[in-house]
Structure 1
Amino acid sequence: MTDPQLPAGIRAATPDDVPAVLGLIRELADYERALDQVRATPDQLRAALFAPSPGVFALVAENEGEVVGFALYFLSFSTWEGVHGIHLEDLYVSPTRRGTGVGAALLASLAAIAVARGYARVEWSVLDWNTPSIEFYRRLGAVALDEWTGFRLSGDALLATAARSTG
């Protein structure tokens, strides 16, 4: 199955993009009031994105040779649909490029990849206080999954739950 032609300025990330993407991840974390939680290193990101069989992928938006936005995603699977989907982990555009169509182009590119590959959906989470992003997604036709609540196991709870498997 072939992938669609991406819009001008949008392309698959390369290993050379890792420092710029990590810089944008840090900007995103700062915007989300969680910069102190970023632990990712360039080596970790490079290994995750460019392993022989990567489990995570990235598109970048480039303007005049500068990476100004990115979409980092991985595959999900719908047991009801019986096919994969795309889970968008992060979508971020530098503040100076917001409102210029970069975010919409990144999301349109992910949608085109999903359609070309026969995937059922593109899904993501957004912080409930992030009104500008929520409004942007709604303008594109995305709908909130209000009936779903996200959960996470991490840290001590993850370790304790994992320990239960060694009965």
Structure 2
Amino acid sequence: MKVIEGVIPAPQAKIAIVVSRFNSFINDRLVEGALDTLKRQGQIADENITLVKVPGAVELPLAAKRLAKSKQFDGIVALGCVIRGGTAHFEYVSGECAKGLAQVALEAEIPVAFGVLTTENIEQAIERAGTKAGNKGVEAALSTLEMINVMNALGA
């Protein structure tokens, strides 16, 4: 039986990180985690990483699509934070963001990691940005690296 499984190092990969500026006090920590992971574990040089900042989570899919269409990147790490409020806005933003990013990955056939926190409150967001629950930016970067290697192993 042949087993195809990704590994983490991808030193030749070109990665785009697209991040929402809204809730930047959380998102900056996600970016720090992703960058550290890409450089230390992925062995990717600074010049092979591009950081794109967009206003909010709803804009992440459009920026990711443009990055994917450029064919300059092997993978995209999408980062952001949507915190539930008192209206249905949370469902619309988080749902459309998730669907849009998944669609980009399927259409462009490159890894697009969903590193967007969708939390009930600010405390949960803080926990997932580098405290009790780890750093989801790290997890998104690891997923991107592994999937780049899986996709390469699968071929065209």
TM-score calculated relative to the size of structure 1:
0.30
Structure holding more helix per residue: 2
The structure having more radius of gyration, on CA atoms, is 1
TM-score by length of 2: 0.31
Q: Work out which structure has the larger RCO, using CA pairs closer than 8 Å and 6 or more positions apart in sequence.
A: 2
